[in-house]
Amino acid sequence: MKRILVGIATLVSMFTTGAGAADLAARPYTKAPPAVVEVYNWTGFHIGANVGYSWGRSDDSVLISRFATGFPLNAAAGRNDVNGAIGGGQIGYNWQLTNWLVGLEADIQASGERGSLGFTCLACADDGTNITSVVTQRLNWFGTVRGRAGFLVTPSILLYGTGGFAYGEVQTGGSITGNNIAGNPVTALFPGTSSTRTGWTAGAGIEGRITGNWTAKLEYLYMDLGSVSAGPIATTILVPVRTNAGVSYTSSFTDNIVRVGVNYRFGGPVVARY
Higher pLDDT, 172 or 105: 105
pTM of the model: 0.76
Q: Which residues of 198-208 are buried (b: 16+ CB within 10 A; e: fewer)?
A: ebbbbbbbebe
Residues 6+ apart with CB under 8 A from 221: 144, 162, 201, 202, 203, 255, 256, 257, 259
CA distance 260 to 219: 6
Which three-class secondary structure state does DSSP give residue 8? helix
Among the listed ranges 73-82, 112-121, 194-203, which one has the minimum average pLDDT value?
73-82
Cα–Cα nearest to 237, from 173, 175, 161: 175
Query: If one looks up domain 37-273 in CATH, what number appears?
Result: 2.40.160.20
Whole-angstrom distance, CA of residue 20 vs CA of residue 72: 112
**220 vs 171, higher pLDDT:** 220
Please state, in angstroms and rounded to a whole number, the distance separating the CA atoms of residues 188 and 219. Answer: 42
| Distance, CA of 81 to CA of 239 (rounded, Å) | 33
Burial 113-147 (b: 16+ CB within 10 A, else e): bbbbbbbebeebbeeebebbbbbbbbbebbbbebe
pLDDT (tens digit per residue) in 224-265: 998 877 766 665 555 444 556 667 777 888 999 999 999 999
